[in-house]
Amino acid sequence: MLHLWKSVKTYTQRMGVLDLGLLKICCLALGTLMGLTVSRKKKLQTGVLAGGVFAATCLPLMNRFLDIIEETAAEEQ
C-alpha cells in the first residue's frame, strides 16, 4: 500500500495543466453517468456520450499513472 501512495505522490507532482484538465473532464463525465436524470428518450444517448468521454479522458490518465507505478517499483528494487 505504501508503494501505491508513493506513486500517487509522484504522479501529482508531475501533473501538468493538461492532466488536470483531463481529470476534471473525467470527473464531470463520471458525475453525468452517476446522476443520469434526463428524459427516457435522451438517457441512452447521454449515457453513451458520457461513457465515451469518461473512457477517452480516463485512459490517458491511467496509462501515465501505471507508468509511474512501474517506475516506482523499479526504483525500490
Contact 19, 64 (CB under 8 A): yes
Is 11 within the bounds of a domain?
A: no
| Residue in 74, 66, 77 with CA at minimum distance from that of residue 8 | 66
pLDDT digits (tens, 9 = 90+) for 18-57: 888 888 888 888 888 777 777 788 888 888 888 888 888 8
Is 3 within the bounds of a domain?
A: no
Contact 61, 15 (CB under 8 A): no
Mean per-residue pLDDT, 46-74:
84
Is 38 within the bounds of a domain?
A: yes
**Domains identified in the chain, total number:** 1
Q: Does this model's pTM top 0.75?
A: no
Is 12 within the bounds of a domain?
A: no
Is 5 within the bounds of a domain?
A: no
Residue 59 has pLDDT above 80, yes or no: yes
Lowest mean pLDDT among 9-13, 32-36, 43-47, 63-67: 32-36
The whole-angstrom separation of Cα 24 and Cα 7 is: 20
Distances (CA, A) of 2 to 8, 14, 39, 62: 10, 19, 45, 19
Provide the domain limits for residue 44: 17-71
